[in-house]
């Protein structure tokens, strides 16, 4: 279905593009929301991505590549949003705790807060690659195709993103230990 719609849209069919936007909008939003961790910015990124996709669609050579191409555009829109607002750490909020069945809810809140802080410290490029890998389940090769970068670069970025995330978590843990020691 996508292929026909993409071809129609690339020839200026706004109705076809509207269908594509509604079909893929949720996924774009999910990606943006996870990279930016902020509702308003995510919505802006999705809107920008759709506008850019419309404008640039005639340049997409292979209609079957529409979805990864769209993902690339939304990721880049997220970069733009992130650049416009760098003060990530001033807008930390703890996301909802997972549903029932968690062994220790308070511990989960603390852990999630820790992860959230660590994730927000990463540059947008690293957050994006983690979202593509851990949320979309893309391999480094698929990430490379999506982002238009060499596979080796995707692998190395993923490696560094994991390392940075680990370092951020460890830094927070150290702070927590020191703070705990002072208060006791």
Binding site for other proteins (CB under 8 A): 10, 12, 14, 17-18, 21-22, 25-26, 28-30, 33-34, 39, 42-43, 46-47, 50-52, 54-59, 72-73, 76, 95-96, 98, 111-112, 115-116, 119, 130-131, 134-135, 147-150, 153, 162, 165-166, 169-170, 173
- Please name the residue that has the structure tokens 């990530």: 88
148 Cβ contact partners less than 8 Å away, ≥ 6 residues apart? 72
Q: Which is nearer to other proteins, 167 or 179 (CB)?
A: 167
- Are 9 and 20 in contact by the 8 Å Cβ rule? The answer is yes
- Please name the residue that has the structure tokens 């852990």: 111
Write down the least CB distance from residue 74 to other proteins, Å: 10
Write down the least CB distance from residue 67 to other proteins, Å: 15
Write down the least CB distance from residue 165 to other proteins, Å: 5
Write down the least CB distance from residue 36 to other proteins, Å: 10
Q: In whole angstroms, what is the distance from residue 95 CA to residue 89 CA?
A: 14
Q: In whole angstroms, what is the distance from residue 76 CA to residue 144 CA?
A: 14
Q: Which is nearer to other proteins, 14 or 85 (CB)?
A: 14
Q: Is 132 exposed, middle or buried (0-12, 13-18, 19+ CB in 10 A)?
A: buried
């Amino acid at each position: 279905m996508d292929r026909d719609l993409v071809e129609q849209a690339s020839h200026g069919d706004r109705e076809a593009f509207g269908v594509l936007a509604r079909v893929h909008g949720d996924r774009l939003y999910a990606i943006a929301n996870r990279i930016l961790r902020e509702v308003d910015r995510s919505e802006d990124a999705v809107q920008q991505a759709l506008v850019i996709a419309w404008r640039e669609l005639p340049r997409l050579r292979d209609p079957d590549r529409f979805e990864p191409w769209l993902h690339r555009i939304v990721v880049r829109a997220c970069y733009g949003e992130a650049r416009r607002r760098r003060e990530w750490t001033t807008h930390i909020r703890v996301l909802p705790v997972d549903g029932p069945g968690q062994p220790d809810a308070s511990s989960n809140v603390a852990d999630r807060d820790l992860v959230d802080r660590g994730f927000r410290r990463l540059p947008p490029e690293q957050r994006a690659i983690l979202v593509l890998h851990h949320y979309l389940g893309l391999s480094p090769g698929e990430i490379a195709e999506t982002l238009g970068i060499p596979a080796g670069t995707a692998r190395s970025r993923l490696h560094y993103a994991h390392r940075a995330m680990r370092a951020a978590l460890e830094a927070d843990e150290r702070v927590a230990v020191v703070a705990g020691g002072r208060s006791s």
